[in-house]
Structure 1
Amino acid sequence: MKLWGIDLGGTKIECAVLDSDRNLEVVVRMRLPTESANGYDHILNQIKRLIDMVAEQVGERPNKVGFATPGVLEPDTHLMKNSNTICLNGQPLKADLERILGVPCQLANDANCFALAEALIGAGKEHPTAEVVFGVIMGTGVGGGLVVNNKIIAGHHGIGGEWGHNILEEGGEPCYCGKAGCVEQVISGPALERYYERVSGEKVSMKVILERFHLGNDEHANATIERLLEYYGRAISTLINVLDPGLIVIGGGVGNVELLYTAGYERIRKYIFNKGVVTTPILKPKLGDSAGVFGAALL
């Protein structure tokens, strides 16, 4: 049986077909640019075009397709919300996809798809007794996905796992969600770069900030990484206090910062409601940038 998944990103749309009869072997992977600046209908056409191209390669069409999407469907109206690909918001994406593709479609937030893939076929394989797995995305944005007993928990409002839009810093930077000081506006890559520019007067990449931190001669880089570690520890502790997951997997570019797994882990101890004892496994993803599209297929 072929499992079809689409990862609908802001810059690219990726399709993967997995063969469930061959240990989820990848049959085909293919990408097209999203070209979201051209609008909602253009995105739909790009998805249809990509499905047609992959179907020609595979030699058959899908009988259903899973989608990892930025944002989520509102459970009551079935319209998209909370997407940073703005033109998707307010649109009946699931209904339109089913109309143009002619098959049932299952949609889930991209962070939830990341968490599902890592729980089932990624880092979760090293921790098979973990009933609760939380997938963190720390990159251009900050998000999260929640999987319990191998099932995505979308929640009553469809916002289960939305860790990135809780207020972390009172009086912090305004967020596109309408609040200020959200986790995303504190410890995402762009937020940390803005902080460095604010304190140093120089605009550089997160990679350069880390290099300068490790050289040890830049007080502004030190302050930026200190900010990351302290707020990371505080934010992750709230996840553990509420969910107490058996595994946390951290994806995204900022998730590659090695200090998160050492000094950052120590910061969690300051805030956890467990007398400073933390044994939660916190791992990097095993699937790399495949997690989103694999999770979509696994839907």
Structure 2
Amino acid sequence: MSMHHIGVDLGGTKVDITLSGAAIEKPLWRDRKPTVTDKGPGGLIAQLATMIQEARAKADGPTTVGLGLPGSIDPQSGEVRNCVMPWLDGTPLPALLSQAVGAPVAFINDAQAFALSEANFGAGRNARIVLGITIGTGVGGGWVIDGRVQAGRHGIAGEIGHIAVEMSGRECYCGRRGCLEQYLSGTALERRYYELTGRNTRLAVIAERAGSGDVVAASVLAEMVEAFGVGVGSLVNAFDPDVIVVGGGVSLLPILFDAGRTALARQAMAVPFKTPVVRAKLGDASGVFGAALIGRQSQA
């Protein structure tokens, strides 16, 4: 009897779930539901357990379960931390959910899930060291080496939004200063444009204006390119990945892959700089695929 794999991508607004056989990137079944956020951790655990049981019922045989979440699990305490849903922080989610489901559930941070799936099924396929970066409302990432996420001693490897690109720089909500996220995320870029113009403007519109003579918009994008170069170029100097895969809303801006790559090459010690910097391929499926894969790998 063949093993099936369940992947759950838990987000602040929706829960995405897939059931697959050996080919995780080709799900046999997929479902989405709005996240239950008004009933506390207990309500969410009940929702997740119900969705997982529904997937298991379709599997007709043994399953593994993996879950990606917008936060991480502290390896010491086993509790949720830094979650987009702050009311989940401090909850021993792995223990409670595994208990509710009656089977082990493997957990992974959503940015690490993105990197894992892109490395195995997407734009980083066949590369040995993959740096996956998501640039959207925040900045996150993950290191995948030989097809497996390297989460590190504290589980924080890939928290690239919080590497400093400017000493004593802009304040970050995390309590530190000069974090890359404050210079590169869509949120930060929109805030910067607002500071300079007094106008609330979406990033896509700022990018459009930069191309049609708006000098402030052009300067905001130039700052973004510089931050990308310094931040990601420094990571190249640390790990020298075989490929860099970029996803998230900001990755829709072509400037990241030309001017951004040039800025990155200036910071990297590799001359000539040959690392491909590529856009992610899997779209919003990367979360569930990475979750399903961590489930399979944790049972192997």
**Smaller-chain TM-score bracket:** over 0.9
Measure, in 1, the Cα distance between the counterparts of 2:164 and 2:262: 22
- Counterpart of 1:44 in structure 2 is 45
**SS of the residue aligned with 1:286?**
coil
Partner of 2:274: 279
Unmatched tracts of structure 2, length 5 or more: 295-300
- What is the alpha-carbon distance in structure 1 between the residues aligned to residue 48 and residue 115 of structure 2? 23
Aligned to 2:188: 191
Q: Which of residues 146, 151, 157 is equivalent to 1:154?
A: 151
Determine which of 212, 215, 228 is the counterpart of 1:215: 212
Q: Identity rate of aligned residues, in percent?
A: 39
**8 Å Cα contact 1:67-1:108 kept in structure 2:** yes
Letter in 1 for 2:21: D
Please name the residue that 1:29 is paired with. 30
Alpha-carbon separation, structure 2, partners of 1:176 and 1:42: 28
Of 239, 243, 254, the match for 1:243 = 239
2:203 is the counterpart of 1:206: yes
After the TM superposition, which residues 128-167 of structure 1 pair with which residues of structure 2 at under 5 Å, given as runs?
A: 128=126, 130-167=127-164
Q: Normalization by structure 2: what TM-score?
A: 0.92
Matched letter for residue 281 of structure 2 = K
Is the deviation greater in 69-78 or in 229-238? 69-78
Quote the offset at 1:38 in angstroms. Answer: 3.9
User: Separation in 2 of the partners of 1:23 and 1:66?
Assistant: 12
Structure 1 unaligned residues grouped into runs of 5+? none
| Aligned alpha-carbon RMSD (Å) | 1.7
- Given that 2:56 and 2:63 are in contact with CA atoms closer than 8 Å, whether structure 1 keeps it comes out as no
CA contact (8 A) 1:172 1:185 kept: no
Residues 248 and 282 in structure 1, CA contact (< 8 A), matched pair in contact too: yes
CA distance in 1 between partners of 2:18 and 2:222 (Å): 39
Quickly say closer, same or farther: Cα 1:51–1:229, change in 2 above 3 A: same
What TM-score, normalized by structure 1, do the two folds share? Answer: 0.92
| Greater shift in the superposed pair: 31-40 or 236-245 | 31-40
Give 3-state SS (helix, strand or coil) of 1:124's partner: coil
Shift of 1:50: 2.1
Alpha carbons 2:5, 2:24 under 8 Å: kept: no
Q: In the alignment, is residue 289 of structure 1 matched against residue 284 of structure 2?
A: yes
Q: Distance in 1 between matches of 2:164 and 2:250?
A: 19
In structure 2, C-alpha distance between the alignment counterparts of 1:28 and 1:155, rounded to whole Å: 33
**How big is the shift at 1:59?**
5.5
Deviations 1:79-103 (A, max 9, x none): 1222222122211110011011111
